[in-house]
Amino acid sequence: MLQANQPAPAFSSPNQHGDTVSLADFAGKQHVVLYFYPKDDTPGCTIEANEFTALAAEFAAHDAVVIGVSKDDCDSHQAFIEKFGLKVDLLADTSGEVCNAYAVWQEKEKNGVKKMGIVRSTFVINKAGMLVEALYQVNPPGHAQAMLDVVKQL
């Protein structure tokens, strides 16, 4: 698993519009809050996306962009954004390449059944491309505010 104070793995993946978004796009310009979530339009994922959206202007005011990542496709992301009026880009990591690079694709157990899935995780990457935070097993309520507090320190 990744840890703070190491270079963030490079990534490139399409967003909800099918436009490729890469970590390199933000180098030297903006901090990146990259959050991974299991599935569009599910309870915890909706809480997290809505909280990041509510704080989007504050993240922007601190030179930070918030990007969500799941294995859902671009159409699913677009529907999720439209349903809730989200103001964050959502990357469609359908191949799992970004999930693997950030070590969030892990075995999970629910009701005694083990299966592979995305572990809700967030990474704060500074303008120099270094990980400032690497958090696994994130709890959605209040998480966006906690990440904004980290960004404010950069």
Active site amino acids: 45
Give CA separation, 93 vs 41, 59, 103, 127, in Å.
Answer: 16, 23, 13, 23
What 3-state class would DSSP assign to 24? Answer: helix
Phi, psi of 29, deg, nearest 5: -115, -50
Query: Angle at Cα 31 formed by Cα 131 and Cα 53, nearest 5°?
Result: 110
Question: For the chain, how far is it from start to end, CA to CA, in angstroms?
Answer: 23
